[in-house]
Amino acid sequence: MPKPKVIRKGWYPILAPKLFQNVVLGETHVYEPEQMIGKHLVKNLMSLTNDVKRQNINVDFKVANVENGKAFTDIVGYYMVQSSIRRMVRKNIEKIIMSFPCKTSDNKNLQIKPLLITRASTTGSVATKMRRTTQDFLIKYIGAISYDNFVNDIVSHKLQSSLKSELNRIYPLRVCEIKSMEIVDLEKKKQVQGEAKAGKKEKHAEKIEESKATENKGPAKVETNKEISEKEEEVKESKDTQKKEDAPKKAEDVAKKEQTA
């Protein structure tokens, strides 16, 4: 009998987008190259640009397609390292973190989180004006360009520099960065929100049922307590009557003992 063919895994390279000259991000071990589609890979921006100043940024890549045994990726996320944000914060300064949705000219839905750190403490009205200006500027800027151009501007720090020069007119900034950026699947987001709302409704209904059950049990407990108190009173009364009945007998016994003595 012929021996069955043994399917073995192979190593396949994962390549970065054209923005990073299609450098090899890494390799993965799979049976078929098509199994790489959808895989995520996070790399530090310093290793891609050879710029030490960009070591506080991580980029999330996702395999979009496979050709000739090579996986080609798209950038789906951009995140600042949390420890680097802590090092930027000082006493008596204002830290502003925002989060809002944006849409590129090629209809990519994004969730943007800018990070602003001032050179000194500010008043509430100044911080409010900076928030409003930041949101308006980014929505207008991102809406006028494609997603690829947006990623290029955020990686090259062109977007952050333009935003900082705009906000310096209101109040001088020490740091102006994009804390995070990610592509948002609106359908999946709505589904998750719907499930969360359904879960909250179920918990609320369970609490109402529990409260009703405790209310129904409440009067029953009161009645049992009354019954217990009534039984205790009956026992006391029976003991008192027995004592009264036994009292003459005890007196007769005492009188007999005295006579015999």
Is the model's pTM score more than 0.85?
A: no
* 239 in any annotated domain: no
Q: Which of 149, 164, 186 is the last residue of a domain?
A: 186
CA separation, residue 19 to residues 55, 68, 153, 219, 249 (Å): 18, 21, 11, 73, 113
Q: Which of 80, 107, 136 is the last residue of a domain?
A: 80
Q: Domain tally for the chain?
A: 2
Return the SS3 of 178: strand
Same domain for 68 and 100, yes or no, is: no
Same domain for 103 and 22, yes or no, is: no
Q: Which spans in 15-122 are helix H? A: 45-49, 82-88
* 235 in any annotated domain: no
Buried b / exposed e across 206-232, counting CB within 10 Å, b at 16+? eeeeeeeeeeeeeeeeeeeeeeeeeee
Q: What is the CATH number of the domain that holds 130?
A: 3.30.479.30
Same domain for 24 and 95, yes or no, is: no
Same domain for 76 and 165, yes or no, is: no
Q: For all residues of the chain together, what is the average pLDDT?
A: 85
Task: Kindly state the average pLDDT of the residues 151-169.
Answer: 94
Same domain for 94 and 67, yes or no, is: no
What pLDDT, on the 0 to 100 scale, is given for residue 174? 92
What pLDDT, on the 0 to 100 scale, is given for residue 217? 61
Q: Which spans in the chain are helix H? A: 45-49, 82-88, 124-143, 147-155, 158-167, 186-260
Highest-scoring range by mean pLDDT, 176-180, 191-195, 237-241: 176-180
* 197 in any annotated domain: no
48: number of Cβ within 10 Å: 19
Query: Which tokens in the block code for residue 15?
Result: 């390549």
Same domain for 105 and 161, yes or no, is: yes
What digits encode the pLDDT tens for the residues 183-206?
998 766 666 667 777 777 778 777
What digits encode the pLDDT tens for the residues 69-116?
899 999 999 999 999 988 888 888 889 999 999 999 999 999 999 999
What pLDDT, on the 0 to 100 scale, is given for residue 224? 58
Domain extent for 115? 82-186
Query: Which tokens in the block code for residue 179?
Result: 């804390």
The candidate with the shortest Cα–Cα distance to 33, out of 72, 66, 74, 73, is 66
* 173 in any annotated domain: yes
Same domain for 72 and 148, yes or no, is: no
Phi, psi of 220 (to 5 degrees): -60, -40
* CA dihedral of 74, 188, 56, 38, whole degrees rounded to 10: -40
* 220 in any annotated domain: no
Burial class of residue 245 in the structure, from the number of CB atoms within 10 Å of its CB (0-12 exposed, 13-18 middle, 19+ buried) = exposed
* 123 in any annotated domain: yes
* 133 in any annotated domain: yes
Query: How far apart, in whole angstroms, are the C-alpha atoms of residue 252 and residue 111?
Result: 100
Same domain for 139 and 114, yes or no, is: yes
The candidate with the shortest Cα–Cα distance to 167, out of 121, 143, 131, is 131
* Amino acid type, 190: K
Same domain for 163 and 123, yes or no, is: yes
What digits encode the pLDDT tens for the residues 25-44?
999 988 888 999 999 999 99
Q: Which of 146, 166, 186 is the last residue of a domain?
A: 186
